[in-house]
Amino acid sequence: MSPKTLYDKIWDAHVAHEADDGTCLLYIDRHLVHEVTSPQAFEGLRMAGRKVRAPEKTIAVPDHNVPTTPDRVNGIENPESRIQVEALDKNAKDFGIHYYPVHDVRQGIVHIVGPEQGWTLPGMTVVCGDSHTATHGAFGALAHGIGTSEVEHVLATQTLIQKKSKNMKVEITGKLQPGVTAKDITLAVIGETGTAGGTGYVIEYCGEAIRDLSMEGRMTVCNMAIEGGARAGLIAPDETTFEYVKGRPHAPKGAQWEAAMDWWKTLYTDEGAHFDKVITLRGEDIAPVVTWGTSPEDVLPITASVPNPEDFEGGKVDAARRSIEYMGLEAGQKLSEVEIDTVFIGSCTNGRIEDLRAAAEILKGKKVKDGMRAMVVPGSGLVRLQAEEEGLADIFKEAGFEWRLAGCSMCLAMNPDQLQPGERCAATSNRNFEGRQGRGGRTHLLSPAMAAAAAITGRLTDVRELM
């Protein structure tokens, strides 16, 4: 048998039908659903008189729209948001799918809840009507975002019509330097490949620096595979993975655990398997990074300066010019001198307990700079609870951060958490697009520790100066 990549193995185990032209029906093990991209899909089912084929494999949670202020217990004020959440409440009930409603302590961002509850397991196929589904690839699960028509397709048939992607390997060798995190790895990779570099590929991340990451760090890396254009990101499961999964509410137990482990241990890329594209970065070379522009590929070390658009080629010249103007920056300006007024810590990229620990470590005994708005939005109710138990919430609050309830919040600013035009935010989220965090808002992506450092100084800051 010819050697296979991890992607090949998971793919092969899920093909329910293959047509002569290579179009496959890929069976889906877990379907995650949220309120924004699902109402039209459920409506489609109702209109056609169809039901959900595998409700036991379908998990729903509201996250995009929900307010994160404590007063949300009184209901959602925005009528459109309320209607969407109520629609999900009803759809979950009518179609009999697993559901974590807004008031459930387990509610949170769908990509944080799935792993936390043990729904996401190695070797699975996982989809969701959200591009950051790539997150679940950290478990060695083939996970990707889909559109609403595909959400309806999966609800009705538990399959997706797919053609296989190509294999790409991203290897991060060696060790990371102090102050450098999973977020810096994933941004540095996008800086290297560009946002279209992964188009048509599934990426497998490997190498010592990836192996050394916790599950939470691995989720951060895979989360942004989509920002590099890839269909999915994968990391082969290992002891770190098994340790994380074991004992979770929906993880297998007893004999089933043993059977699962037997299979999971075969989920790695065989020696000599073919990759269509290979990128290698040295862990030692990766610095704490920030974005300067309006595309996640606009990444530079914090020690660098805003580039000159003329230094780029092709369409990037105009794009960079537009970005720098939108961001209100000057070519040649030092990134560490860029003043900010808002800090957002949270999102499916960096809203897990380790992210909050990393930020709290920097903030301990310090204060947010006067006049700044800073908020922490834990990724789930359980992350919030744990952070309170560990004393992290007190550190944030004493430093001057707002301590919020779980949700997507200012990552996409669909709820009331938004930037005003011209406001500049240091954000641990995943997209710095124009208007992403609010019309006219300016976003610099960075790690939780870097966000904490920026909150203290009021400017983009090299976290290593505060360590």
Q: Does 80 bind another protein (CB under 8 A)?
A: yes
End-to-end CA distance of the chain: 51
Distance CA 424, CA 435 (A): 11
Cβ-contact 197, 229 below 8 angstroms: yes
Nearest to 129 by CA among 31, 43, 45, 52: 31
Q: What length does the chain have?
A: 467
DSSP 64-93: SS---SGGGGG---SHHHHHHHHHHHHHHH
Q: Does 260 bind another protein (CB under 8 A)?
A: yes
Nearest to 349 by CA among 184, 170, 163: 184
Question: CB of 213: closest distance to another protein in angstroms?
Answer: 25
Single out the residue of 164, 357, 433, 459 in contact with another protein (rule: CB under 8 A): 433
Q: Does 158 bind another protein (CB under 8 A)?
A: yes
Indicate the residue type of 105.
V
Question: CB of 462: closest distance to another protein in angstroms?
Answer: 28
Residues 212-241 that bind another protein (CB under 8 A): 226, 229-231
Which CB, 55 or 458, lies closer to another protein? Answer: 55
Structure tokens at 207: 């190498």
Q: Does 259 bind another protein (CB under 8 A)?
A: yes
Structure tokens at 455: 């909150």
Q: Does 276 bind another protein (CB under 8 A)?
A: no
Q: Does 278 bind another protein (CB under 8 A)?
A: no
Nearest to 400 by CA among 358, 345, 347, 350: 345
Distance CA 441, CA 370 (A): 20
Question: CB of 9: closest distance to another protein in angstroms?
Answer: 13
Single out the residue of 4, 9, 436, 444 in contact with another protein (rule: CB under 8 A): 436
Q: Does 442 bind another protein (CB under 8 A)?
A: no
Element of type H or E holding 255:
helix 254-264
Which CB, 316 or 357, lies closer to another protein? Answer: 316
Structure tokens at 94: 């009518």
Q: Does 39 bind another protein (CB under 8 A)?
A: yes
Which CB, 59 or 363, lies closer to another protein? Answer: 59
Residues 174-193 that bind another protein (CB under 8 A): none
Residues 319-338 that bind another protein (CB under 8 A): 319, 322
Sequence-separated (6 or more) residues with CB below 8 Å from residue 306: 292, 324, 329, 330, 331, 332, 333, 334, 335
Which CB, 157 or 214, lies closer to another protein? Answer: 157
Cβ-contact 205, 178 below 8 angstroms: no
Q: Does 87 bind another protein (CB under 8 A)?
A: yes
What single DSSP character describes residue 462?
-
Structure tokens at 286: 């990766």
Question: CB of 93: closest distance to another protein in angstroms?
Answer: 16
Structure tokens at 179: 């102050």
Q: Does 25 bind another protein (CB under 8 A)?
A: yes
Single out the residue of 46, 163, 175, 334 in contact with another protein (rule: CB under 8 A): 163
Distance CA 105, CA 121 (A): 22
Q: Does 444 bind another protein (CB under 8 A)?
A: no
Which CB, 156 or 304, lies closer to another protein? Answer: 156
Q: Does 150 bind another protein (CB under 8 A)?
A: yes
Return the range that interacts with another protein (CB under 8 A); candidates 211-219, 353-361, 389-397, 431-439: 431-439
Question: CB of 159: closest distance to another protein in angstroms?
Answer: 6
What single DSSP character describes residue 130?
S
Q: Does 417 bind another protein (CB under 8 A)?
A: no
Q: Does 434 bind another protein (CB under 8 A)?
A: yes
Single out the residue of 413, 427, 446, 455 in contact with another protein (rule: CB under 8 A): 413
Distances (CA, A) of 182 to 149, 241, 364, 451: 33, 16, 22, 14
Q: Does 370 bind another protein (CB under 8 A)?
A: no
Q: Does 149 bind another protein (CB under 8 A)?
A: yes
What is residue 107's three-state secondary structure? coil
Which CB, 175 or 253, lies closer to another protein? Answer: 253
Single out the residue of 3, 19, 51, 311 in contact with another protein (rule: CB under 8 A): 19
